[in-house]
Amino acid sequence: MAQPAERTPTLPPYAPVPEGTHAPLDFPGYRSTGLRAPVRQPVILPHRLTEVTGPLLTGPIRPGDDDLTLGEHGEAQGQRIIVFGRVADSDGRPVPDTLVEIWQANAAGRYAHRWDDWPAPLDPNFTGGGRVLTDAHGDYSFTTIKPGAYPWGNHHNAWRPAHIHFSLFGRAFTQRLVTQMYFPDDPLFAQDPIYNSVPEGARERMISTFDLDATRPEWALAFRFDIVLRGREQTPFEEPHA
Amino acid sequence: MSTDRPGQLTPSQTVGPYLALGLPWPDGPDVVPEGTPGAVTIGGTVYDGAGEPVVDAMIETWQADPDGRFDHPDDPRGARTPAVEGFRGFGRAATDDRGRWSVRTVLPGALPVFDALPVFDGAADVREAPHIDVSVFARGLLDRLVTRIYLPGNAEANAADPLLSSVPAERRGTLVAVAEAPDRYRFDIRLRGDGETVFLQI
Ligand SMILES: [Fe+2]
C-alpha cells in the first residue's frame, strides 16, 4: 500500500454538465420526488480511474432484440415505426459499439407489467423491451410500434405524453444516461411534470423528429432521436506519452 | 429538436416504475460467475425518506478487479484482461418486493491517483482505497444518484482516501459497507432524510 502512486498525466476528466441541462432532483410537480430526492448537497467526486472507465458491454443481445414488433404469436398491434439516430459525445465524436436499451408501453398506452392495471388492452405480442449496439458510426435503429399515452396518478387528469424510455452506457461511468424520447407536437407536453422538469431550452432535445426520408415506403414511419453524452474536458495542451 | 444543436447534452429522465421491462438481465447481478473463488455478496436495502423500502429501484455497480485494474482502453496503464476469469466489473440488480438488492463480485484493489486531475492534492503516496462506484435509478429520481461503496477491512486505506477524506466525518459511515460474514457485506442506501447516504456529483 505504501508504494508511490504511478504517475502519468493522461487522464483528462469529462467536461462538467452545463447548468440547465438536467432537471433538479427535487421537483414538487412530480410527486414521487417528495420522498426520494436527497435533501443534502452532493459531494464532488473528481473523475479518476473508476469514473473515466466503464463497462464496454456487448450483450446480452439476441437476434431480434432490435425489433419489438415480433411477438410470440405474431406481430404487435399498432403503428409500426422505426426509431433511429446517432449516439455522440458533446465534442461531436460518435460513440460506437455501445449498448442502447429501450422499454415502452404498447399502442394502447399499457405496459406489460404487473403493476400497470389501468383499463387499456394488453397486447399478447408486445412485451415492450429492446436492445441494440450502436455501429461503428454510433448509429442505432429499432423497429417498434408507436406507444400510446397513459394516465397516471400524479395529479387530477394527468397523462404522460407518448414516450420511449432509453438507457445508454457510453464508454465511461461518467457518461451513463437514462432518458425518455418523445414524439413531435404532442399536446400533452404542457401538463406533464416529468417532461417539464427539464429546463426550457434543454427539454426540447428529448423530442424526436419525424424523418420522411428514413420512412420505409409501405412499411413504417421513421423518427430520428440523436443522443449526446458527456464529452472529455478540452485539454489545454497535448503531451506525448507512451 | 434533437438534431439542430449537436453537442448539447441529452437531458436525463426518470426510469419510472416499469424499468423491469427493459433493464434487468438474468445474469445482471453476476459481476463474477457463480463458483468464483473469493466471491462475496454485496447488497442491502434501499429506503425512501419515510424509511420505507423502495421496491422499484435498480442498482448498478462498477469497479476495478482485485489487482486494481480495468479492462478498458482509457485506463492509462492499458486495458488488461481481468485477474479473475469471467470478471465483468459491472453489476446490475433491481430491488425486490422488500427493497433489497445484491450483486456477487470479488473485492476491488486499490487504485493509483493520476496527476492530470486538477483537484488532486499532490501528495506523493496517495492512492484511492478499494471502492465500487454505484448508480441508483428509481421512479421519483429525475437523474441517477451516484455513490460509492468502501469496505470495512481497509481502515488505513480508507483514512487516506481522497474522496472519503472530503466527506464530513459524521457522514462517512454511509459510504462504508458492513461486514456481515466473511463473504457477505451489507450496503443500505437511504435516499433522503435521517442517515441520508452521501451522494456524489460527477
Ligand atoms: Fe413510461
- Total of domains in chain B: 1
What does the buried/exposed string (b/e) look like for A208-239 if buried means 16 or more CB atoms within 10 Å of the residue's CB?
bbebeebeeeeebbbbbbbbbbbbbeeeeeee
Q: By the 8 A CB rule, do A52 and B59 touch?
A: no
Grid coordinates representing A62 are 439476441
pLDDT value of residue A140:
98
CA–centroid distance, A73 to ligand 1, in Å, is 25
pLDDT value of residue A173:
98
Q: Write out residues 175-204 of A within 8 Å (CB-CB) of B.
A: 176-180, 184, 194, 197-198, 202-204
State the Cα–Cα distance between residues B68 and B65, nearest whole angstrom: 5
Distance from the B121 Cα atom to the nearest Cα atom in chain A, whole angstroms: 11
At residue B84, does pLDDT exceed 90?
A: yes
Q: By the 8 A CB rule, do A102 and A167 touch?
A: yes
pLDDT value of residue B125:
58
The alpha carbon torsion through A68, A71, A77, A80 (nearest 10 deg) reads: 30
Architecture of the domain spanning A60-229 = Sandwich (2.60)
Q: Inspect the interface and report whether the beta carbons of B135 and A9 lie closer than 8 Å.
A: no
Cβ-based neighbours of A163, under 8 Å, separated by 6 or more:
A104, A147, A180, A181, A182, A183
- Give whole-number Cα distances, B42 to A114, B104, B137, in Å: 28, 6, 18
Annotated active-site positions of A, please?
Answer: 111, 150, 160, 163, 165
Please return the burial class of B24, using the count of CB atoms within 10 Å of its CB with bins 0-12, 13-18 and 19+.
middle
In a domain, B2, yes or no: no
pLDDT value of residue A10:
64
Which pTM was predicted? 0.94
- Residue B46's domain spans which residues? 23-190
CA–centroid distance, A116 to ligand 1, in Å, is 11
Give the mean model confidence (pLDDT) for residues B124-140.
90
Chain B partners within 8 Å of A9 (Cβ): 114-116
At residue B123, does pLDDT exceed 80?
A: no
Cβ-based neighbours of B90, under 8 Å, separated by 6 or more:
A54, A55, A57, B31, B60, B61, B62
- Which among A23, A51, A231 is the nearest to B202, CB-wise? A51
Per-residue pLDDT of chain A (242 residues; tens, 9 = 90+): 444 444 444 687 899 999 999 999 999 999 999 999 999 999 999 999 999 999 999 888 999 999 999 999 999 999 999 999 999 999 999 999 999 999 999 999 999 999 999 999 999 999 999 999 999 999 999 999 999 999 999 999 999 999 999 999 999 999 999 999 999 999 999 999 999 999 999 999 999 999 999 999 999 999 999 999 999 987 544 444 43
The three state secondary structure string of B135-191 is EEEECCCCCCEEEEEECCCCHHHHHHCHHHHCCCHHHHHHHECEEEECCEEECCEEC
Nearest to A50 by CA among B34, B178, B87, B163: B163
State the Cα–Cα distance between residues B137 and B115, nearest whole angstrom: 32
How many other β-carbons are positioned within 10 Å of the β-carbon of residue A47?
A: 23
pLDDT value of residue B113:
84
Grid coordinates representing A32 are 414521487
φ, ψ at B157 (rounded to 5°): -65, -40
Q: How many CA atoms lie within 13 A of A91 on its CB side?
A: 11
Chain B partners within 8 Å of A2 (Cβ): 125
How many other β-carbons are positioned within 10 Å of the β-carbon of residue A1?
A: 10
Cβ-based neighbours of A119, under 8 Å, separated by 6 or more:
none
Mean pLDDT of chain B: 92
- Give whole-number Cα distances, B21 to A165, A168, B185, in Å: 10, 15, 29
Q: At B99, which CATH number? A: 2.60.130.10
Give the model confidence (pLDDT) of B22-37 as tens digits: 999 999 999 999 999 9
State the amino acid at position B120 in one-letter form.
F
pLDDT value of residue A233:
83
